[in-house]
């Protein structure tokens, strides 16, 4: 039986783009199962009352601001641009960064051209899809420039004679290099974040949001985590604890019929490498096992 609308929440996710696959995969890792048909804009959660709304990333801040969605996964760059452009309107709160979609908003100008430094930007024309972030950054540095708003292909603006410099998202820098552009400054670093609507209220919504957020945090913190299991003489415990990656406090249990021996379990923030395993063995560990951690709930 499908629950009524007010007992469900919606999370907005990019429909088709750089963040789509990671976002949907994260929701699956949180235990959400949903059916995604062709051209479906809403996927109904089948085992949790959390529906997924598939939209353009630029629409996500607005959907959060007007309360159409309780949660959203979107680049911090898009969220901050909307916040600056939106003035005094209540803006979505960032709950947590999600560890994918890393990039930076950077200023770049034609390699070997007249603009080589920040001062050279004064009085220039700068093409960007992020006018509010750029205006804010220029103002903070006392620089004046004409901002030319373009919604795509910003990197070719200088070649088309539309701008003297650009302000665009960069990850590897390959697109800049391919267009003979040289980076002059970084305005901000960005990654995908989980954001919450300022209107997400009510007991049911709050409980669902808290539950999903705890699962997301668990899925993220479990990502690189490993469970280390070993046996050792009790006398080696201090030396073993010293060697554990992340210095987690291990669980120690006795072994039946072997009073001098213990079994040790430790949650490590990353996988111990071979050298660390050899050192553990050298101080007395036996039967050392490293297991992946699928999910955690603190």
* Residue among 58 and 248 whose Cβ is closer to Mg ion: 58
Query: Does 171 interact with ligand ATP (rule: CB under 6 A)?
Result: yes
Q: Is 103 in the site for ligand ATP (CB under 6 A)?
A: yes
The yes or no reply on residue 58 touching Mg ion (CB under 5 A) is: yes
Least distance to ligand ATP, CB of residue 71, Å = 17
Report in angstroms how near the CB of residue 60 gets to ligand ATP at its nearest: 9
Single out the residue of 8, 10, 14, 80 in contact with ligand ATP (rule: CB under 6 A).
14
- Nearest distance in Å: CB 59, ligand ATP: 8
Encoding tokens for residue 173?
Answer: 């820098």
Which residue lies nearer to ligand ATP by CB, 17 or 90?
Answer: 17
- Does position 189 interact with ligand ATP (CB under 6 A)? The reply is no
Least separation in angstroms between residue 85's CB and Mg ion is 14
- CA–CA distances in Å: residue 144 to residues 52, 61, 140: 42, 28, 10
Least separation in angstroms between residue 169's CB and ligand ATP is 4
Which two three-digit tokens encode residue 181?
């552009």
Residue 36 binds which entry of Mg ion, ligand ATP, none, CB below 5-8 Å type-dependent: none
Residue with tokens 């002059």: 184
Q: Please report, as residue ranges, which positions from 53 to 72 form the binding site for ligand ATP (by CB under 6 A).
A: 56-58
Alpha carbon distance 269, 58 (integer Å): 35
Under the binding rule (CB under 6 A), the answer on residue 190 touching ligand ATP is yes
Residue nearer to ligand ATP on the CB measure, 170 or 225: 170
Nearer to ligand ATP by Cβ, of 56 and 282: the residue is 56
Of residues 55 and 138, the one with the C-beta less far from ligand ATP: 55
Q: Does 75 bind ligand ATP (CB under 6 A)?
A: yes
What's the closest the beta carbon of residue 8 comes to ligand ATP, in angstroms?
24
57 lies in the site for Mg ion, by CB under 5 A: yes
Stretch that binds Mg ion, among 52-60, 166-174, 215-223, 253-261 (CB under 5 A): 52-60
In this structure, what are the phi and psi dihedrals at residue 291, rounded to the nearest 5 degrees?
Answer: -120, 145
Binding residues (CB under 6 A) for ligand ATP: these are: 14, 17-19, 56-58, 75, 77-78, 101, 103, 169-171, 190
List contacts with Mg ion (CB under 5 A).
57-58
């Amino acid at each position: 039986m499908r629950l009524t609308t007010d007992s469900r929440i919606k999370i907005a996710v990019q429909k088709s783009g750089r963040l789509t696959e990671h976002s949907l995969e994260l929701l699956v890792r949180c235990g959400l199962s949903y059916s995604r048909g062709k051209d479906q804009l809403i996927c109904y959660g089948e085992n949790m009352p959390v529906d997924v709304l598939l939209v353009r990333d630029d629409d996500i801040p607005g959907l959060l601001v007007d309360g159409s969605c309780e949660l959203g996964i979107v680049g911090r760059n898009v969220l901050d641009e909307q916040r600056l452009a939106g003035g005094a309107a209540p803006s979505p709160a960032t709950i947590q960064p999600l560890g994918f979609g890393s990039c930076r908003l950077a200023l770049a100008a034609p390699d070997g051209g007249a603009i080589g430094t920040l001062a050279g930007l004064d009085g220039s024309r700068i093409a960007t899809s992020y006018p509010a972030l750029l205006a804010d950054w220029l103002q903070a540095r006392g620089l004046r420039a004409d901002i030319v708003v373009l919604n795509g292909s910003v990197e070719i603006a200088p070649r088309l004679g539309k701008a003297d410099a650009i302000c665009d998202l960069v990850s590897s820098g390959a697109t800049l290099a391919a267009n003979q552009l040289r980076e002059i400054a970084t305005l901000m670093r960005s990654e995908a974040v989980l954001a919450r609507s300022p209107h997400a209220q009510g007991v049911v919504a709050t409980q669902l949001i808290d539950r999903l957020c705890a699962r997301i945090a668990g899925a993220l913190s479990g990502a690189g985590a490993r469970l280390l299991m070993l046996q050792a003489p009790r006398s080696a415990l201090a030396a073993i604890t010293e060697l554990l990656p992340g210095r987690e406090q291990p669980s120690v249990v006795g072994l039946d019929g072997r009073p001098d021996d213990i079994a040790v379990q430790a949650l490590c923030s990353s996988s111990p490498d071979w050298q660390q395993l050899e050192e553990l063995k050298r101080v007395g560990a036996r039967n050392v096992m490293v297991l992946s951690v699928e999910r955690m709930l603190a």
